[in-house]
């Protein structure tokens, strides 16, 4: 059948609110550096009061949303399943997704506050996330659209969803719906803390059948109890047909069956790593759904990740080059 969408993403709807801070500020605020921490609305309000300054940027986000926006920026056709509040932030989120070229269901809204993620960017370009899920924590199978899943080449499941029972059930149901209609399944591990805390849930999803797995070195090592990324990707490759492990400035390792390839990173001055993995996945999925081979798709993903870490914010702010021009940079 003809597929109307390249990728059907499922994830939390979060407005990303970004601040530049030093490590001392994180220490004073009692925030663990480099990971995602779930917070409640009271803690979030306390953070805003203690920061006492305007953020550098705000944009519709959430990990899977960033990936869908990346696909759209390359010219692809993504759909995003999420849940927003009936509030001003929800209006902003829906409008911002539409402007970014991402289709979504505007009726999937609920009473309450739209989720927000406070993103702290330190001078070493690391990103630290404090996330208030708001109504996004209530995402459920109600937000899934079987017809649109069937009309997509891939579904893309955000690992952060596994932090709640209903989010986990939503992922399981989306996976089953996709498999019944021949839509391929991609999963991102999202965060080392998530993997360590909800390893059983990730294991169940992987064992149920995942076609592409995205993760970084820390997430891969945590999931496989390894100390070396090469060991981790070998173990993952025995369970998933196609595995992409991002390695920061060392590029990305991609394993398909018994074949493993290393894609170099494009050298840039990194100022903010927020969104690097999301944009790699966006570039890779765009390539795979537009008849590029695995290695070529990996290069598109590597290019996208390099562009996003050289700027502030998880969304590409520059006009992207064409595929041929991007691939030529790796010759």
301-316, pLDDT tens digit by residue? 999 999 988 887 777 7
If pLDDT is split at 50, 70 and 90, which confidence band does 272 have? confident
Contacts 24+ apart (CB under 8 A), 251-260: 251/302, 252/280, 252/298, 252/301, 252/302, 253/229, 254/294, 254/295, 254/298, 256/294, 260/233
CATH class (in words) of the domain with range 5-328: alpha beta
Of the two residues 145 and 309, the one the predictor is more confident about is 145
Indicate the burial class of 200 (C-beta count within 10 angstroms; 0-12, 13-18, 19 or more).
Answer: exposed
If phi over 0 gives left and psi between -120 and 50 gives alpha, with beta otherwise, what is residue 66?
alpha
Give the pLDDT confidence score for residue 68 in this predicted structure: 97
Please determine, for residue 1, whether its predicted confidence score (pLDDT) is greater than 70.
no
185-199 tens-digit pLDDT: 999 999 999 999 999
Eight-class DSSP state of 121: E
276-297 tens-digit pLDDT: 899 999 999 999 999 999 999 9
The DSSP element (H or E) to which 152 belongs, if any, is strand 152-158
Tell me the β-bridge partners of 245: 215, 253
As a whole number, mean pLDDT of residues 77-89 equals 97
What 3-state class would DSSP assign to 20? strand
Give the pLDDT confidence score for residue 81 in this predicted structure: 98
As a whole number, mean pLDDT of residues 7-22 equals 95
Neighbours of 238 (CB within 10 A): 12
pTM for the predicted model, two decimal places: 0.93
Give the pLDDT confidence score for residue 63 in this predicted structure: 94
Give the pLDDT confidence score for residue 56 in this predicted structure: 87
Give the pLDDT confidence score for residue 44 in this predicted structure: 94
If pLDDT is split at 50, 70 and 90, which confidence band does 22 have? very high
As a whole number, mean pLDDT of residues 96-102 equals 94
Domain boundaries, the chain: 5-328
Of the two residues 77 and 314, the one the predictor is more confident about is 77
209-246 tens-digit pLDDT: 999 999 999 999 999 999 988 899 999 999 999 999 99
As a whole number, mean pLDDT of residues 43-61 equals 90
Please determine, for residue 104, whether its predicted confidence score (pLDDT) is greater than 90.
yes
Mean pLDDT of the chain: 94
As a whole number, mean pLDDT of residues 142-151 equals 97
Give the pLDDT confidence score for residue 131 in this predicted structure: 94
What 3-state class would DSSP assign to 102? coil
Give the pLDDT confidence score for residue 54 in this predicted structure: 87
Please determine, for residue 317, whether its predicted confidence score (pLDDT) is greater than 80.
no
Poorest-confidence range of 49-58, 77-86, 92-101, 161-170? 49-58
């Amino acid at each position: 059948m003809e597929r109307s969408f390249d990728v059907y993403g499922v994830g939390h709807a979060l407005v990303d609110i970004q601040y530049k801070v030093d490590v001392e500020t994180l220490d004073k605020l009692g925030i663990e550096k480099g990971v995602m921490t779930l917070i409640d609305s009271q803690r979030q309000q306390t953070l805003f009061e203690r920061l006492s300054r305007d953020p550098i940027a705000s944009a519709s986000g959430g990990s899977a949303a960033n990936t869908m926006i990346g696909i759209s920026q390359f010219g692809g056709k993504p759909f995003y399943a999420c849940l927003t509040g009936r509030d001003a932030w929800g209006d902003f989120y829906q409008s911002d997704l539409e402007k970014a070229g991402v289709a979504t269901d505007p009726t999937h809204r609920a009473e309450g506050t739209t989720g927000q993620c406070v993103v702290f960017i330190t001078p070493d370009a690391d990103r630290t996330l404090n996330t208030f899920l708001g109504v996004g924590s209530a995402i459920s199978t109600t937000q899934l659209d079987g017809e649109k899943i069937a009309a997509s080449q891939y579904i893309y499941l955000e690992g952060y969803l596994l932090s709640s029972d209903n989010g986990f059930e939503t992922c399981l149901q989306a996976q089953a719906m996709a498999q019944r209609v021949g839509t391929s399944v991609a999963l991102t591990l999202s965060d080392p803390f998530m993997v360590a805390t909800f390893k059983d849930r990730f294991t169940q999803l992987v064992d149920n059948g995942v076609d592409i797995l995205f993760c970084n070195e820390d997430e891969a090592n945590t999931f496989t109890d390894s100390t070396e990324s090469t060991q981790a990707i070998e173990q993952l490759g025995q369970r998933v047909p196609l595995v992409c492990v991002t390695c920061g400035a060392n590029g990305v390792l991609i394993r398909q069956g018994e074949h493993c390839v290393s894609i170099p990173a494009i050298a840039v001055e990194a100022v903010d790593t927020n969104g690097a993995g999301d944009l790699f996945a966006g570039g890779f999925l765009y390539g795979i759904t537009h008849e590029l081979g695995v290695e070529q798709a990996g290069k598109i993903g590597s290019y996208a990740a390099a562009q996003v870490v050289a700027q502030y914010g998880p969304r590409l702010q520059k006009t992207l080059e064409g595929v041929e021009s991007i691939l030529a940079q790796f010759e």
